[in-house]
Amino acid sequence: MKTVNVGIIGGGLMGKEVASAFGRWFALNDYPLKVELKALCDINPETLDWYRQIDTVDILTTDYRELLDSKALDVIYVALPHHLHEQYYIDVIESGKDLLAEKPFGADLNAATLIKKHADQKGCFVRCSSEMPFLPGPQRLIQEVLSGNLGQIMEINAGFYHSSDMNPMKPINWKRQSRYCGEIGVMGDLGMHVLHIPLRLGWKPSSVYAQLQKIITRRPDGQGGWSNCDTWNNATLSTNVSIEEEEIPMRLEMKRLAPGETNSWFIEVLGTKGGVRYNTKDTKALWLFSMEKEQYWKRVDLGFQVPFQTITGGIFEPGFPDCFMQMLAAYFAEREGFIESRFGCVTPEEALMSHKVFAAALDSNKTGKAIAVKY
Ligand SMILES: NC(=O)c1ccc[n+]([C@@H]2O[C@H](COP(=O)([O-])OP(=O)(O)OC[C@H]3O[C@@H](n4cnc5c(N)ncnc54)[C@H](O)[C@@H]3O)[C@@H](O)[C@H]2O)c1
C-alpha cells in the first residue's frame, strides 16, 4: 500500500490532534493509503519532546527549513499562530510540497490572497482545516438541503460558541492579541468553521452588517502583571445570500464569550416545507421539521455514519477526534483522487471568500453600515 509521508510545523494543540489521528489510521476501513508522521518542527523543545513517543518520526527540529528541504516528505500540515501563516504557508508551497493549512489561512485578506496566488502558481494541493462538517449530523444536513425537501429556503443560522474566555482571570495568550491572531479576532478563530458548509452550498454573502464586541480588554499576563486583550471577542454577522434568485438572510455568529458553551458549532436551515438543524452540543441529534396536519420538529439519533468507514460500530457516538480524522481522510483522498462524491476540505478559494466576508465585517463595524462583499 502506498504511504504518504507528512511533516508538521507547529506541534501545539492542533499538531498533537493531527499526530494522534495518524496514530490510529488503521481504524479507517479499506482506506487505500497509509499516512505516516515523519517530521515535526516547533520552536519549543518541550513540545518536541512529546513527539519522541511516536516511532515513525525521524526529524525533530526547531528549524522548519529542515522539513522544507527533506526529500522524504510529501505533505506538510501547519498549525501556527495566525501572523505566521503567510510566510510559512508560502514557504511550504514554494518548497513544492502539498499543504494542509490551519484556518484562518492567513491573518487577513491580503495574506490569504497572497497564499492562494502562490498555491495557484505552483499548482500544489492546498486545503484549509475545518472539521465539524465531517460529523454525521452536518453530513445529513447537507443531504437534506440538497434533497429539495425544505421547499423554498427562508433563513440560515450558523455559528460557533466558546465560553472559556468568560473567565476574566484566564491568562492572555496569542489568540487574544491582534498582532498574533489578526485584526479579525474571533472571526479568524471560528469563522472558517461557520462558513465552510454555507460556502460549499453556494451561499456566498453578498452583503454584511456586523456587530463586533470587545468585552474583556485586559487579562493577566501570566507573570504577575496585566496585558491588553485587543481582539474582538464576539461577532454577529447579518448577511444576505442569494438562493434561487431570492435574497435570504443568513446570520453568522462567532463567540468566545457565550455563557456555558464549550465548543458548540451549529447550523440551521429553514424552508417553507421543511427545516433541519444540528448542534455539536447534542452530538447525535439531528432535528428535522415537517408539516403535516400539525407542525413538528422530530429528533433523529444518528450513529457513526461518517464519510470514510471505520471499525467503530454504527450506533456509537462520534466526537471531535473522529471528525478531525475524517477531515484528514478527506484531504488525502482528494489529493490522491479517490474522494468521489464525498465532502471535501475547505479550498483556497473558499478560505479567501471567508476573508472577504471578515474584511467586510470590519468595515461594517467601523462605518455602522451594511457592506457589499466583492468576490
Ligand atoms: N481546526 C481547529 O479546530 C482548530 C482548533 C484550534 C486552533 N486551530 C488553528 O491551529 C493553529 C494553531 O493553533 P493551536 O491551538 O494549535 O496553537 P498552539 O499555541 O497550541 O500551538 C502553536 C505551536 O506553534 C509553535 N510555534 C510558534 N511559533 C513557531 C515557529 N516560528 N516555528 C515553529 N513552531 C512555532 C508553538 O511553540 C506552539 O507549540 C491556528 O491557526 C489556529 O487557528 C484550529
The residue-averaged pLDDT of 184-210 equals: 98
Predicted confidence (pLDDT) per residue in 274-314, tens digit: 999 999 999 999 999 999 899 999 999 999 999 999 999 99
Q: What does the alpha-carbon distance between residue 47 and residue 19 come to, in Å, rounded to a whole number?
A: 13
Q: What are phi and psi of 351, to 5 degrees?
A: -60, -40
Query: How does the average pLDDT of the chain come out, rounded?
Result: 97
Q: What is the mean pLDDT of residues 337-344?
A: 97
> Which of 65, 102, 131 for mutating ligand 1's site (highest number of atoms within 8 Å of CB)?
102
Out of 43, 132, 174, mutate this one to test ligand 1's pocket (max ligand atoms within 8 Å of CB): namely 43
Q: Show the DSSP H helices in the chain as ranges.
A: 13-23, 45-50, 65-69, 85-94, 109-122, 136-147, 178-181, 186-200, 320-336, 348-367
Q: What is the pLDDT of residues 90-114, one digit of tens each?
A: 999 999 999 999 999 999 999 999 9
Amino acid sitting at position 362: L
Ordered structural domains, the chain, with CATH: 3-128 (3.40.50.720), 132-307+347-372 (3.30.360.10)
**DSSP three-state, residue 127:** strand
- Give the confidence band of 355 by pLDDT, cuts at 50, 70, 90: very high
pLDDT digits (tens, 9 = 90+) for 120-154: 999 999 999 999 999 999 999 999 999 999 999 99
Contacts (Cβ under 8 Å, ≥6 apart) of 169: 219, 220
C-alpha to C-alpha distance for 375 and 355, rounded to whole angstroms: 10
* pTM score of the predicted model: 0.97
Ligand 1: residues within 6 Å at CB?
A: 9-14, 41-44, 47, 64, 79-82, 84, 102-103, 129, 131, 189
Question: pLDDT digits over 23-38, tens only?
Answer: 999 999 999 999 999 9
Give the number of other Cβ atoms within 10 Å of residue 313's Cβ.
Answer: 8
The pLDDT value given to residue 155 = 98
Instruction: Calculate how far, in angstroms, residue 303's C-alpha sits from the geometric centre of ligand 1.
Output: 31
Q: What percent of the chain has pLDDT over 90?
A: 99
The pLDDT assigned to 164 comes to 85
CA 106 to ligand 1 centroid distance, Å: 13
pLDDT of amino acid 46 = 96
